[in-house]
Amino acid sequence: MSNVSTIFVFDVNRAPSSPNPTDEEVQDAKLLYYYPDHREVEERRSHLGLIEGLLVLLASFTKHKIDFLRTKLFTTTISEWCDGIYLVVCFKNEENSWNEMAEYSHHWKHYMTKVVLENAKKLFELLHGPLRDLLNASDGNASSNLESVRRAFEDFLPSFITKAAGDSFNILNAWNASYKSHASALSTLDAQTLIADLCSEFEAVHDYVFIHNKEVLHSSLDLDNMLALYTYLIKHQGSVSERQELRMKPLADGEGVGEAHIMKSESGDAFSPKVHINGQAYHLGVVCMGGLYLVLLLQCDDVMFTLSSIKEYLSGTPNGMGALLKSLSQPPVASKLRTVSINAVTKTIRSVGYNEIDEKALRELQVIRGIHHLIESSLEVITRMHVRSKQGWCSAQVSNGREMYLTLPSESLSLTDVSGAFNEFVKTFLGGIYFI
């Protein structure tokens, strides 16, 4: 998507320890991290001074902070990490040649880079803890704390941001949402029963997320923490760091089929990185079978022994992962419709017909994203929209924080036809319940 040129983090409130610092020492104290490290010190100071100056200048005109700066060669995205601390990423603009992003304006590219930076902050703190706490850790002095934070930044930020910003573009992955599994009531009850029995058997299990075919089936976590884990394990497949123990190894052909399997890290050991949730540290473990993943937050001393015991339990109990997977494996109802639904309350997203993203699908999703942005900014005014484009029609309706989009490929349909088709769609597939 974009080429990363520079990444840096600075704290406008950080001051040098010397009693009479020079201007250069003041600037150097504010800079917590800079990538790439081969840049000259004067270039770093100049870069920091430009962004800090723009923040101060804009603050004198508006309460809104600058988050996007575009020049002929570079696009810079600025995101406030916490009070006074900013993450800045500079992207080199692509040359004027056709690619899959050519359908999108700079506005959508900016939206995408903002998503990358927001995910970077969430995942860094998931793996390392809150940034402010790391800088103010009581078991070290300011200098040693900063050095530890810089090592953590160096391990995570370049690896994650360059990978996330360079991935093939799919606007469905840009929404801050997880994919929601539409399982039957019986299958959901089976999952709840299995996890209740597991928690009763193993005190080490603190929280969990059940994921089936990359869709969330059941979770005990609050939405924000669930989304952070989902982004780490599903959207980025556990590959966000240079450290092998933080990278989840993909399953080989035949692995995890027919029996429970403990996911491994790229180091070869069990995948059990330490994660930080609501101020507590846990070991993260993943047990899978087929397309069913059980993500566990564990509090224990011997992680490998605990995961092995849980694996044996899930394989041996009659209502274990095998039985649950069987009840979930009923083929879904086929549909030729192309739809997207978004639930702002549960932060979930569901799509039908967009598994393969071609040029036509990209254009349709561009229209959907535009309507969604308009609904967000005019929620009390807009309840239904029908938008006509070169691709055909896109119908949308919003109610109680839930949105449904239906694309109709025929450009020749009248507005009356489109409205009638959308009403029929809601009645047939949603039973009128979705918009209540």
Least trusted range by pLDDT, from 53-62, 89-98, 158-167, 219-228: 89-98
pLDDT bucket at 230, cuts 50 / 70 / 90: very high
How far is CA 281 from its chain centroid? Answer: 21
Confirm if 351 and 177 have CB atoms less than 8 A apart.
Answer: no
250/89: higher pLDDT: 89
pLDDT value at 198 more than 90: yes
What is the model's pLDDT at position 261? 92
**What is 370-401 written as a DSSP string?**
HHHHHHHHTTTT-SEEEEEETTEEEEEEEETT
Q: Where are the domains of the chain?
A: 3-172, 178-328, 338-430
CA distance 109 to 121: 19
CA distance 26 to 11: 11
Cβ density class 365-374: b for 16+ within 10 Å, e for less: bbbbbbbbee
What is the model's pLDDT at position 97? 47
Q: Which CATH class is domain 178-328?
A: alpha beta
Domains 178-328 and 338-430 alike in fold: yes
Give the pLDDT mean for 148-164: 91
- pLDDT tens digits for 14-46? 988 888 889 899 999 999 999 998 999 999 999
Strands (E), 144-239: 178-179, 205-212, 215-219
Cβ within 8 Å of residue 224, ≥6 positions away: 122
Q: Which two tokens stand for residue 126?
A: 């998931």
- pLDDT tens digits for 314-341? 998 888 899 888 888 765 555 667 888 8
Confirm if 216 and 230 have CB atoms less than 8 A apart.
Answer: yes
What is the model's pLDDT at position 436? 40
CATH code matching the domain that covers 338-430, chosen among 3.30.450.190, 1.10.730.10, 3.40.30.10, 1.50.10.10: 3.30.450.190
Residue with tokens 């069990």: 270
DSSP state of 3: E
Indicate the fold that domain 3-172 takes in CATH. Answer: Beta-Lactamase (3.30.450)
- pLDDT tens digits for 72-115? 888 899 999 998 999 999 988 776 544 544 445 556 677 778 88
Exposed/middle/buried for 99, CB within 10 Å: 0-12, 13-18, 19+? exposed
What is the model's pLDDT at position 98? 46
CA distance 173 to 111: 12
Give the pLDDT mean for 422-435: 66
H runs (alpha helix) in 171-320: 185-201, 223-230, 303-316
293/171: higher pLDDT: 293
Q: pTM higher than 0.85 for the full model?
A: no
pLDDT value at 426 more than 60: yes
Cβ within 8 Å of residue 86, ≥6 positions away: 9, 10, 12, 51, 55, 78, 79, 80
Least trusted range by pLDDT, from 138-142, 287-291, 347-351, 373-377: 138-142
What is the model's pLDDT at position 99? 52
CA distance 115 to 103: 19
